[in-house]
Every structure is written in C-alpha cells, then in structure tokens.
Amino acid sequence: MAHGYRPESAKWHNQTWLVLLLCLVVFPLGFYGLWKSKTIPPLVKAILVGACGYLLFTLVRAVVGHYGFQE
C-alpha cells in the first residue's frame, strides 16, 4: 500500500451520514459530496438533486414575489 493511499470506502464523500449532514449544514460542500459519493445510489442522488433544485426555485420565486423588482 502506497504512503498516503486511502481506500475508496474511507473517503469522506463515501460516508453517507457525513454527506447528508453536510447537505444540511454546509450545502455547497454537501452537494459536492453527494455528487462524488459512490455509496449513494444514482436514483437517490437524482431525487435529492431534484428536491434541492425545487427548493431553490421556490425560495427564489418567494423572495422575488415578496420584494419584486422595483426601479
């Protein structure tokens, strides 16, 4: 085993609990971990990415609807 080598299973983005926690606490890092993870099934990734996209769209729409674009 080479010096500094870590098995794929030991990488942080392959620890499901950590990735999900980071998605809630530090979204950009958690989203990256979700994308890189080899332990989370592709269908679950697609559902989570779709849900995040929907929430982002809803949030932007609510903010724009509340404040509007006034010149």
Report how far apart, in Å, the C-alpha atoms of 17 and of each of 12, 39, 71 are. Answer: 10, 11, 46
- Taking each helix axis from N to C end, the angle separating 27-36 and 42-67, rounded to the nearest 10 degrees, works out to 150
**pLDDT tens profile 15-32:** 989 988 988 898 888 889
The one-letter code for the residue type at 35 is W
State in Å, rounded, how far the first CA of the chain is from the last one. 63
Determine if the pTM surpasses 0.85. no
Quick one: pLDDT band at residue 63, thresholds 50, 70, 90? confident
Every domain of the chain and the residues it spans: 8-67
